[in-house]
Amino acid sequence: MEFCDLAVYLSKLEKTSSRNEITAILAELFKKTTPAEIDKTVYLVLGQLAPNYEGLVLNLAEKMVIRILAQAYDKDISSVTSLYKSVGDLGSVAQELGIRHKGLGTSQTISDVFQTLIDVAKDNGAKSQERKVDKMADLLRKVDPLSARYIARIPVGKLRLGFSDMTILDALSFMLRGDKSARPEIEAAFNVNVDPGRIAKLVKERGLAGVKDIVPVAGIPIRSSLCERLPSAEKILEKVGKRVYVEPKYDGVRTQLHVWNGNIRIFSRNLENTTAMFPDLVAAAKLIKVESAIFDGEALAYDVKNDRFLPFQETIQRKRKHGIDAAVKDVPLKLFLFDILSRNGKSLLSTPFMGRRKILEETVKNNKLIQVTRQVETDSADTIRDLVKKFLTEGLEGAVVKKMDAPYKAGARGYHWVKYKKTTEKGVADTIDCLVMGTYKGKGKRTGFGVGAFLVGIKDGGKFKTVSKIGTGLSDEQWKELNTRTRKLGVSVQSKEYEVPKNLAPDNWVKPGLVVEILADEITVSPIHAASLALRFPRLIKFRDDKNPDQTTTLKELENLFKMQKV
């Protein structure tokens, strides 16, 4: 397929807000692509060059793209900069300059453009920036103005068209069957191999048979299994099983550890490759004697001197790209492994949890930094409550109660794991992870903070719906930090993924990117908010740098929490 044809589809997607329409457009596009180019097409419509966990990016800042546009269309940098300031979008600038330039363009296929972008991304070393500019400028001269619009947006991460990997999976189902009936099987494969391009290629080549036997592969992250919530220990035993395993619930960063042939990879909750951030854990993982394995766990900052766990906000300081050696010294970690998903090339996902636990204990011998999490088997609600109290005194979040014979449910939330926290017995059973959608100007003292209140929402399908306007419950330091973070994500217009009633429109919009953990006294029915539910007396617990927007609390989850208040 010619890239100019893809650009027409990108234009349709940009003008569409309905998720169903977006899915239909993508399905039509995928039908027209060949098996050799569908993976590349998937990456490009997502504004990337490879699966997120590979971290392959063009690494070109806005000023560099302005240089590229100036060179491509024979303009001086000041005139391009001026046009950008008036238009506010580098894609629109590229399209306008392309129209003025009146270049005829040459035939460029999707594969041609994709390969050029890959070459630019992989170009490193002396004078690589100059070579990147030359290659990108040459590419823009070869394509039509509409194609230039989208190519110019990719380097600066501004292609965002209002959908994610999950919409891609829906579109693949529509491509096969004309509806979403194939989505569960496609998603099950994606949960185990989170490469949307590869999944699309397999589906295109062989239909559902192509993804039927997907198994875990060391080095490729698996979507994490998630916990459900229940209001009491008695309800947990009723739902999970008469006998259960109880483990500590750690307030740290979810850590998926991959070991194979002497290689170590560490992935975060949102499947980012964070290996380079944790050299101490990498060294400790090399002590595990196994050909290959994939482990699920949680890493916590640990105060060795006082023998205590540190708060999440100190743990998250270890998630950084600079000053790593100093961070290793200042914020020591302990990694607690609570599951094993694959060993020596054999998938353990369908193995009952009690069997996986035995294999985990056989595989991992505790060392200074990596340990198998504690576990108690019980059939007593009182024992569960006592353990929660014990874990809380240790500075942990509570407990996770696990079904003894359950498989590992990659990417799924269910009653195979139930979290039981300190808020469970009264009021809202859990904290709520919300997306910051915008901010309001402050009055009085808060004018100095830059923010007086902020609007948050939760996920409902492809939309984020408002659930609370928060103006209290933050310390002075948190208000200042909120201002700093939201300024970096500030945009001039409302994201088309946001559903915001007019009377709640903020003074400043924030693009999807900042997740916050909120504790509320109660969830109430709301005629004001788009979610039709609201948080009463909300307060900020912490910024969730380990979560992306797609991992916020869903409307369905919030509705379940609302119902649990009445139990």
Please give the model's pTM, rounded to 2 decimal places: 0.87
Q: Return the number of other C-beta atoms located less than 10 Å from residue 183's C-beta.
A: 19
504 vs 530: CA distance, rounded Å? 10
293 neighbors 218 (Cβ within 8 angstroms) = yes
> Which structural domain, as residue segments, surrounds residue 393?
227-421
27 in a structural domain: no
1 neighbors 45 (Cβ within 8 angstroms) = no
Determine which one of 249, 403, 421, 465 is catalytic: 249
Q: What is the CATH number of the domain that holds 277?
A: 3.30.470.30
58 in a structural domain: no
547 is catalytic: no
Does 470 lie in the same domain as 417? no
Sign of torsion over alpha carbons 143, 144, 147, 151? positive
What angle in degrees, to the nearest 10, is found between the helix axes of 62-72 and 145-153? 160
DSSP summary character for residue 443:
-
169 in a structural domain: no
540 neighbors 478 (Cβ within 8 angstroms) = yes
Identity of the amino acid at 38: I
Does 406 lie in the same domain as 274? yes
Sign of torsion over alpha carbons 126, 274, 327, 341? negative
Does 400 lie in the same domain as 276? yes
Distance (Å) of CA 361 to CA 72, 219, 220, 374, 404: 59, 22, 23, 11, 15
Strand pairing category for 498-499 and 463-470: parallel
Does 457 lie in the same domain as 560? yes
**Residue that has been written with the tokens 């002497």 in this structure:** 262
- What is the full DSSP assignment across 493-516? S--TTEE--GGG--SEEE-S--EE
Does 526 lie in the same domain as 452? yes
DSSP lists the bridge partners of residue 456 as 436, 468
pLDDT, residue 305, reads 84
**Residue 380 DSSP SS3:** coil
Distance (Å) of CA 47 to CA 37, 116, 162, 216: 15, 15, 11, 26
Does 526 lie in the same domain as 382? no
Last residue of a domain, one of 421, 440, 475: 421
Does 525 lie in the same domain as 460? yes
Nearest to 543 by CA among 435, 438, 392, 449: 435
Exposure of 30 by Cβ count < 10 A (0-12 exposed, 13-18 middle, 19+ buried)?
buried
Does 449 lie in the same domain as 545? yes
Last residue of a domain, one of 389, 421, 453: 421
pLDDT, residue 423, reads 47
Last residue of a domain, one of 390, 421, 452: 421
529 in a structural domain: yes
Q: How far is CA 54 from the centre of its chain?
A: 14
Does 284 lie in the same domain as 328? yes
- What is the full DSSP assignment across 330-341? HS-EEEEEEEEE
Helix, strand, coil abundance in the chain, percent, nearest 5: 40, 20, 35
Does 440 lie in the same domain as 417? no
What element of type H or E holds 226? Answer: strand 226-229
DSSP lists the bridge partners of residue 246 as 376, 401
312 in a structural domain: yes
Q: What is the CATH number of the domain that holds 451?
A: 2.40.50.140
- Taking the chain (567 residues) in runs of 10, the rounded mean pLDDT of each run is 96 91 97 97 96 89 95 94 92 93 76 96 92 95 94 87 90 96 97 96 96 94 94 93 96 96 94 94 96 97 87 87 89 96 97 98 95 97 95 92 97 94 68 96 79 96 94 91 94 91 95 94 95 94 91 94 79
416 vs 349: CA distance, rounded Å? 13
99 vs 72: CA distance, rounded Å? 12
183 in a structural domain: no
**Residue that has been written with the tokens 């070991």 in this structure:** 259
Does 559 lie in the same domain as 507? yes
Does 470 lie in the same domain as 396? no
281 in a structural domain: yes
φ, ψ for residue 68, nearest 5 deg: -60, -45
Q: Give the CA angle between residues 198, 200, 201 to the nearest 5°.
A: 65
**Residue 342 DSSP SS3:** strand
Tokens of 60: 């070109």
Nearest to 118 by CA among 193, 1, 39: 39
181 in a structural domain: no
pLDDT, residue 334, reads 95
179 neighbors 204 (Cβ within 8 angstroms) = no
Exposure of 391 by Cβ count < 10 A (0-12 exposed, 13-18 middle, 19+ buried)?
buried
Provide the number of structural domains found in the chain: 2
Stated length of the chain: 567
